[in-house]
Amino acid sequence: MIIVTVELKSAIDGRTTKLGEMIIANDGTGTNTKGNYDAFVYRKPKFFNWKRLTDNTTRTSRVENYSRQSRVIWDLVGLALKNMGYGK
């Protein structure tokens, strides 16, 4: 499971505020070279709940046949976000 957290670090007082969180989970149906993933973006202020993966989600997506050995993690994050409708 990959956890992507977006935080704001204040230059004024040094406080850190979590702005967003995304989970990307391998569904186990791929091969050694190609992976299939489900992705979830979570609502503030609760964000991700380990006991209930799909609770509190704002958007979900799927990435299939991802070349996990030849591509960097940011490609997977970008594809998951694009499939959710972000960045259009």
Every domain of the chain and the residues it spans: 2-84
Per residue, what are the HEC states of the chain? CEEEEEEEECCCCCCEEEEEEEEEEECCCCCCCEEEEEEEEECCCCCCCCCCCCCCEEEEEEEEEEECCCCCHHHHHHHHHHHHCCCC
| pLDDT at res. 51 | 64
- What local confidence, expressed as pLDDT, does residue 55 receive? 73
Q: What is the reported pLDDT for 17?
A: 92
pTM of the model: 0.85
* Mean pLDDT, 10 residues at a time, the chain of 88 residues: 94 94 93 95 77 76 96 96 91
